[in-house]
Amino acid sequence: MSNHTDSLAKKDIAYNLHPYTNLAAHEDRGPLIITRGEGIYVWDSDGNRYIEGLAGLWCVSLGSSEPRLVEAATRQLQNLPFSHTFAHRSTEPVIALAEKLIGMAPEPMAKVYFVNSGSEAVDTAMKLVWYYNNAFERPHKKKIIARKRGYHGVTIAAASLTGLPYLHNDFDLPIERVYHTDTPCYYRYAEPNESEEQFTNRLAESLEQLILSEGPDTIAAFIAEPVMGAGGVMTPPNGYFEKVQVILKRHDILMIADEVICGFGRTGNMWGSQTYGITPDMVTCAKQLSSAYLPIGAVMVSAPIYQAFVEQSRKLGVFGTGNTYGGHPVAAAVALETLKIYEERDILGHVRDVAPRFQARLKALSEHPLVGDARGVGLIGGIEIVANKSTKQSFPPETKAAAAVETNALKHGLIVRPLPSDSVGICPPLVITEAEIDDLFDRLSRALDDAMGILKAA
């Protein structure tokens, strides 16, 4: 470690409160300080180069050195660095971005509401669901159903919808009106000798039983990621969303597609909803909307929902919500340029071209002694680390098996992310090439070998 890195690390430990970090361990370990990026690579403060195997946090789709996004931000900063969209005001980039998003929505949508992050988008969607039902004088139809191990953000409402205990522990979460149904992961949660179809049917029946037990007139919406990302990269079993949506329609329950990770090409289609046959009433998105160059998120709502908002605001005199930085003109300009690049460079076509190689290398890891399951779609994947492949037995929690893989991956110049239940997430920038995919998985394979020696000796 250089003197410069040591100095920065001491300041970081002294002043910076890190999210999703063991704070006690951080005081001893300190930070990995990233100083620059280019393409799929980033460099730390000591000059070490890494493949950014999680695209930052599932988000840097175009890599770290796209000049057009820098230029788009610079032009907008020079022209109009800030204006808001309250009380009938707007800006050119916001108008253009709203039109673009509505034109590319997975299902017909009427309006876009801009926010600053995925968590804000989900939080807003929940708030809008309540507003919508009040417009129809249904004061009791307010409960939201999410899924265990689903991830929807960290604000009070969004973290409540997230079905991961460590987001709830000692934060007094989840709040009321939030319920969780089964995790649709066939590998981990299927019963002995249960077929995938039987598993899907059981989960659908369980969801309907929850709705009936609570009362359909109290359930407002169901929210789901097309692919469950931060909960362990879990793809849905065959027929899952088809069966779920039949139940939702039967009981007049809105479908919210949380596209924060899956949106904008990650699964091989523009939206994960298109990959899995979801017909949402509302869509939340963020992350790859701007390739993460600036914070921005959005909620899209269907025409029936918007019309209810119109009548409610007519009655109340105002649509009483807003975010100071929601629809920030600089972020909107960067997002608009990002969407233009996706089209002009046929990023979707590129993902479809290289995804077979990515998925083949991912599935090949299932032969490794540590890997119980390797799953994914498009350019997103996850591996589940197990102590016993035949029984699917996990390592003891104190072993921190997924973290051991991550630590050893860093030694081989690869950044991945440990996830709940000892899964490891892999989600590179969409611009990755086949040669770079091979390099990524070669490094991950070596990391698994190194971690195996440590875990088996523990």
pLDDT confidence of residue 274: 98
* Helix, coil or strand: residue 390: coil
Residue 457 has pLDDT above 90, yes or no: no
CATH code of the domain made up of 32-65+346-457: 3.90.1150.10
Give the separation between CA 261 and CA 382, rounded to whole angstroms.
14
Give the separation between CA 224 and CA 203, rounded to whole angstroms.
14
Give the separation between CA 168 and CA 146, rounded to whole angstroms.
14
Q: Average pLDDT for residues 403-421, to the nearest whole number?
A: 96
* C-alpha 201: how far from chain center: 26
Same fold, 32-65+346-457 and 69-344: no
pLDDT in tens, 375-390: 999 999 999 999 999 9
Give the separation between CA 141 and CA 9, rounded to whole angstroms.
50
Q: Which CATH number fits domain 69-344: 3.40.50.2300, 3.40.640.10, 3.40.50.720, 1.10.357.10?
A: 3.40.640.10
pLDDT in tens, 2-35: 888 889 999 999 999 999 999 999 999 999 999 9
pLDDT in tens, 288-347: 999 999 999 999 999 999 999 999 999 999 999 999 999 999 999 999 999 999 999 999
Domain boundaries, given as residue ranges, for the chain:
32-65+346-457, 69-344
> What percentage of the chain has pLDDT greater than the value 70?
100
Residue 138 has pLDDT above 70, yes or no: yes
Give the separation between CA 143 and CA 218, rounded to whole angstroms.
6
pLDDT confidence of residue 97: 98
> How confident is the prediction for the chain on average, in pLDDT?
96
Residue 244 has pLDDT above 90, yes or no: yes
Residue 458 has pLDDT above 70, yes or no: no
Q: Average pLDDT for residues 209-238, to the nearest whole number?
A: 98
Strand partners, 356: none
**Whether 50 contacts 413, CB under 8 Å:** yes
pLDDT in tens, 64-114: 999 999 999 999 999 999 999 999 999 999 999 999 999 999 999 999 999
Residue 1 has pLDDT above 90, yes or no: no
